[in-house]
């Protein structure tokens, strides 16, 4: 088993990565939690595949379980569902001495984390992520949020789990497009910080071969994210590096009203576009764009930038959260495996988009 320790200013927690760890969850939790009941928050898809395994595992360790099941999908990260979760926690008479488990993808994780952080000013929680995106990204780092009508992830806070248990065997039931969505972030981690990981995926040379070494890939990605989070817990500097491909990626997602591309697909296009331009501007070593394109293609991620109204895309990208006053922070590759922050005035954004 591989364990990564997150050492933060006020908390310390372990991130466990191991196929089959779900079956041993009960015994791991007994060393973290001495109470007798646990709330499991999940979505209906995860419940259908793994709900009874989770119950069995927790009951076998003597815990009584309460389930809160939300509908699957991004629209569940809402104030309405947050309210629903608060009411269910109250009904189950949960208090700060109890434990909540988030059991699902990033949607369940973000909603559960925010509910856990705010209900009674904080109930301890554990993350058991079930999508690739959540296993290598959203389940660690402490960011929690819900969406508001005016925009995504606008109400949230930093609140860390007591532990994260990542079981890559849960990915076997993931729809192909959801799996591939998460791979875009793995490519990102390799590109910004780990040339060896990038090369390993490239040498695998097929989606199937990448999938067969996913446990190691997840471990490496979590190690990289954890390193950036430790350096910059509240996302004010170093952690921006994790935003590679996201300024243009987010803009593409929004341009198509979140209908045409998944997050990972849009990030794939964002990484390619920024690297194509930064290479042309001699800000990135030659050949990086081609390598990136090759790996994204192996992962079956999109590599063709769609027809868009450039002015409209630029104005959406200029709204990026990582922009301050009139400047915007772009993440560029020095070469594959190495990245840096490049600040530009907003009006120069067109150099990277046109």
Q: Provide the minimum distance between the beta carbon of 203 and ligand NAD in the complex, in angstroms, as a whole number.
A: 26
One-letter-per-residue 3-state SS of 30-46: HCCCCCCEEEEEEEHHH
C-alpha span between 295 and 291 (Å, rounded) = 6
C-alpha span between 199 and 231 (Å, rounded) = 26
Strand partners, 125: 100
Considering the rule CB under 6 A, would residue 134 count as an interface residue with ligand NAD?
Answer: yes
Considering the rule CB under 6 A, would residue 42 count as an interface residue with ligand NAD?
Answer: no
Selected range binding ligand NAD among 61-69, 89-97, 137-145, 201-209, rule: CB under 6 A: 137-145
Dihedral, CA of residue 132, residue 220, residue 140 and residue 163, to nearest 10: 100
Site for ligand NAD in 320-339 (CB under 6 A): none
Site for ligand NAD in 152-171 (CB under 6 A): 153, 170
Identify whether the C-beta of residue 159 lies closer than 8 Å to the C-beta of residue 146.
no
Q: For 322-350, b where at least 16 C-beta lie within 10 A, e where not — what string? A: bbeeeebbbbbbeebbbbeebeeebeebe
Considering the rule CB under 6 A, would residue 105 count as an interface residue with ligand NAD?
Answer: yes
Q: What is the DSSP string of 267-302?
A: HHHHHHHHHHHHHHTTSS-TTHHHHHHHHHHHTT--
Considering the rule CB under 6 A, would residue 245 count as an interface residue with ligand NAD?
Answer: no
Given 37, 61, 78, 173, the residue binding ligand NAD (CB under 6 A) = 173
Residues 6 or more apart whose Cβ sits within 8 Å of residue 221: 136, 137, 185, 186, 189, 197
Considering the rule CB under 6 A, would residue 102 count as an interface residue with ligand NAD?
Answer: no
Nearer to ligand NAD, 123 or 136 (CB): 136
Nearer to ligand NAD, 123 or 353 (CB): 123
Selected range binding ligand NAD among 45-53, 116-124, 196-204, 306-314, rule: CB under 6 A: 45-53
Selected range binding ligand NAD among 32-40, 42-50, 313-321, 343-351, rule: CB under 6 A: 42-50
Considering the rule CB under 6 A, would residue 133 count as an interface residue with ligand NAD?
Answer: yes
Characterize the bridge pairing of strands 151-158 and 143-148.
Answer: antiparallel
Given 74, 216, 232, 238, the residue binding ligand NAD (CB under 6 A) = 74
Q: Which residues bind ligand NAD (CB under 6 A)?
A: 43, 45-46, 49, 72-74, 77, 104-108, 110, 130-131, 133-134, 137-138, 141, 143, 153, 170, 173-174, 178, 181
């Amino acid at each position: 088993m591989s364990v990564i320790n997150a050492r933060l200013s006020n908390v310390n927690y372990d991130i466990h990565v191991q196929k089959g760890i779900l079956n041993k969850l009960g015994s791991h939790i007994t060393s973290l939690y001495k109470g007798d009941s646990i709330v499991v928050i999940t979505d209906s898809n995860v419940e259908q595949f793994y709900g009874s395994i989770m119950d069995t595992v927790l009951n076998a360790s003597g815990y009584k379980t309460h389930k809160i099941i939300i509908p699957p999908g991004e629209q569940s990260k809402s104030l309405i569902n947050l309210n629903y979760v608060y009411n269910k926690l109250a009904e189950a008479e949960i208090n700060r001495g109890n434990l909540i488990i988030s059991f699902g993808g990033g949607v369940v994780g973000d909603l559960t984390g925010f509910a856990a952080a705010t209900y009674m000013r904080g109930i301890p929680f554990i993350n058991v992520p079930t999508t690739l995106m959540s296993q290598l990204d959203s389940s660690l780092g402490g960011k929690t949020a819900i969406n508001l009508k005016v925009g995504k992830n606008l109400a949230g806070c930093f609140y860390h789990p007591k532990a994260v248990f990542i079981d890559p065997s849960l990915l076997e039931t993931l729809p192909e497009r959801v799996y591939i969505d998460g791979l875009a972030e793995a490519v990102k981690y390799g590109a910004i910080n780990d040339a060896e990981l990038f090369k390993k995926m490239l040498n695998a040379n097929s989606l199937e071969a990448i999938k067969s070494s996913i446990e190691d890939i997840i471990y490496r990605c979590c190690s990289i994210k954890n390193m950036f989070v430790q350096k910059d817990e509240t996302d004010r500097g170093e952690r921006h590096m994790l935003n590679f491909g996201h300024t243009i990626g987010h803009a593409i997602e929004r341009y198509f009203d979140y209908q045409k591309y998944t997050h990972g697909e849009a990030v794939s296009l964002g990484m390619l576009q920024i690297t194509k331009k930064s290479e042309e501007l001699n800000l990135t070593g030659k050949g990086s764009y081609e390598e990136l394109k090759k790996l994204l293609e192996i992962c079956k991620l999109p590599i063709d930038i769609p027809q868009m109204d450039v002015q409209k895309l630029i104005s959406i990208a200029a709204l990026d959260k990582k922009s301050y006053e009139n400047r915007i922070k772009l993440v560029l590759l020095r070469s594959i495996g190495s990245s840096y922050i490049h600040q530009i005035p907003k009006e120069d954004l067109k150099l990277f988009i046109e």
